[in-house]
Structure 1
Amino acid sequence: MTGLATVGKLAGETVGQEFLIFTLGNEEYGIDILKVQEIRGYDQVTRIANTPAFIKGVTNLRGVIVPIVDLRVKFAQQGVSYDENTVVIVLNFGQRVVGIVVDGVSDVLSLTTEQIRPAPEFAVTLATEYLTGLGALGERMLILVDIEKLLSSEEMSLMDNVAKSA
């Protein structure tokens, strides 16, 4: 893989950034593949009292207590269900390991800088600071997410406390 990237740079091509593409409802999202540790099926988690609804609980992943966040609940989606297609993406970033629950994972895509457009500015009522941009791939529009901005520092410290208390 490194050889291909080197050849692409030598040939003057723009080498893209890779994103893991996942779905929430009918929307497709992308997250930096370098932050993905693994992808697992959804298993029951140990619920922790007095946590927000989007923090589903914790799970033990090979001796590491991992907080599990349901992005569908965080994004206030209706009719959230857990079935054989529900997936947990385990992320490793900023000295933390966090699992995010999504409806499914489709593929890994490489997007060039020309294919990534800035996130649109919406009204004050919609938080967009967690968007790194929109990926355009043919007719597909991908919402590119910065997980570190999506989970606020307050939420991250809450998850650290949840992991420690488990």
Structure 2
Amino acid sequence: MSRQLITFQLGDQVLGIDIMEIREIRAWSPATPLPNVPAHVRGVVNLRGVVLPVLDLRSRLGWGVTDPSARHVIIVVRMGEQLQGIIVDAVNDIVTVSTEDMQPVPEMGVAEASRFLDGMATIDQRMILILALDRLVEQVPLSDAA
């Protein structure tokens, strides 16, 4: 069996999300900040009348903070029962990964980022880190934060 992934950039890192979890890819638009939310929650944007929380994926993974510009994009995904956006540097392409080509994330002790990964795969000499979207979300709903 195989999975299709949308790959994208966060700095020099290539990450992937299962294509079935993606609802749309949109250009960056500034987010309205919310009080008392985790630092990786940049705020919310209006997506055709729906309030969409936007996460800074770089911050969530512990890789610094994104300074968004017009070149950044928001990938809209379903996390649990809610649509959410994640800020990435650029979207690359669609790749197909067979289950035989997927590798587990090596044990790294208390490494923060590894708990957000579903696995890794090498395609065309590139290491792709496969995100586990369900593990990115805090258990506290944003409606409780405001």
More helix by percentage: 1
Native 8 Å contact 2:72 2:87 kept in 1: yes
What is the match of residue 99 of structure 2? 113
Task: Please state how far the C-alpha of 1:160 moved relative to its aligned partner.
Answer: 4.5
More strand by percentage: 2
What is the match of residue 112 of structure 2? 126
Task: Please state how far the C-alpha of 1:158 moved relative to its aligned partner.
Answer: 3.4
Task: Please state how far the C-alpha of 1:125 moved relative to its aligned partner.
Answer: 4.2
What is the match of residue 158 of structure 1? 141
Native 8 Å contact 1:25 1:77 kept in 2: no
Task: Please state how far the C-alpha of 1:138 moved relative to its aligned partner.
Answer: 3.0
1:77 corresponds to which of 39, 44, 63? 63
Which ranges in structure 1 are unaligned for 5 or more consecutive residues? 1-14
| AA at the equivalent of 1:62 | R
* Greater RCO, CA 8 A, separation 6+: 2
What is the match of residue 34 of structure 2? 48
What is the match of residue 18 of structure 2? 32
CA RMSD, aligned part only? Answer: 1.8
What is the match of residue 3 of structure 1? none
Q: Are residue 98 (structure 1) and residue 81 (structure 2) matched?
A: no
What is the match of residue 122 of structure 2? 136
Q: Are residue 23 (structure 1) and residue 9 (structure 2) matched?
A: yes
Task: Please state how far the C-alpha of 1:40 moved relative to its aligned partner.
Answer: 0.7
Distance 1:75 1:93, change over 3 A: closer
Q: Secondary structure at the match of 2:115?
A: coil
Query: Which of the pair has more CA radius of gyration?
Result: 1
Structure 1 distance, partners of 2:79, 2:41, is: 18
Native 8 Å contact 1:134 1:141 kept in 2: yes
Task: Please state how far the C-alpha of 1:124 moved relative to its aligned partner.
Answer: 2.3
Native 8 Å contact 2:76 2:86 kept in 1: yes
Give the paired residue count. 146
| AA at the equivalent of 1:43 | S
Q: Secondary structure at the match of 2:6?
A: strand
Identity score, percent: 33
Moved more, 74-83 or 43-52: 74-83
Q: Secondary structure at the match of 2:107?
A: coil
After superposition, what is the alpha-carbon deviation per residue over 1:46-86, rounded to whole angstroms, capped at 9, x for unaligned? 11112222111011111211100011122333463222210
With normalisation by structure 2, the TM-score equals: 0.90
Task: Please state how far the C-alpha of 1:44 moved relative to its aligned partner.
Answer: 1.0
Q: Secondary structure at the match of 1:109?
A: strand
What is the match of residue 10 of structure 1? none
After superposition, what is the alpha-carbon deviation per residue over 1:18-44, rounded to whole angstroms, capped at 9, x for unaligned? 111011111000111111000011101
